[in-house]
Amino acid sequence: MTAGAATPEERLEQLGLAVPQVAAPVAAYVPAVRSGAHVFTSGQLPMRDGQLLLTGKVGAEVSQEEAVDCARQCALNALAAVRAEVGELSAVRRVVKVVVFVASSPDFTAQPQVANGVSELLGEVFGETGRHARSAVGVSVLPLDAPVEVELVVEV
């Protein structure tokens, strides 16, 4: 990051967003693990203030636009897990990989557009450092009937 450049936290604030506190896991795992220069997050659900934003399948009970909003919340929750592991988001040197799972109705095929909610947010927060490899995967069901789940791998 160049001198005088905004930090990721400052960029989030400019976007009217904030990284939440790390949510307690819903099962027997930890939110993130650091191994060497990488932090791997567990799958993050679209939780805000301890509640899922929505439940159901994208393309049925959940619209594509709502799923994009859920994906953005998942990304914020993943960033919270990263920050808890490394102290501040300025420590992120590169977003390496994003995996987005979308609980989809049988005829829904726009998983990449839902995943763009994550990719675009990371680009806004980290700039070029936020460009990443990505998978967008349609699945039949996710934990707690969440519509979206997101994992991140970042280099620190």
Instruction: Give the tens place of pLDDT for each residue, 93-108.
Output: 999 999 999 999 999 9
Average pLDDT over residues 86-92: 96
Q: What is the structure's pLDDT at 24?
A: 79
CATH architecture of 8-17+34-155: 2-Layer Sandwich (3.30)
Strands (E), 1-155: 32-35, 38-41, 47-48, 51-52, 94-103, 133-139, 148-155
Say if strands 133-139 and 94-103 run parallel, antiparallel, or are unpaired. parallel
pTM for the full model? 0.94
Q: What is the structure's pLDDT at 43?
A: 97
Instruction: Give the tens place of pLDDT for each residue, 7-66.
Output: 999 999 999 998 998 987 878 999 999 999 999 999 999 999 999 999 999 999 999 999
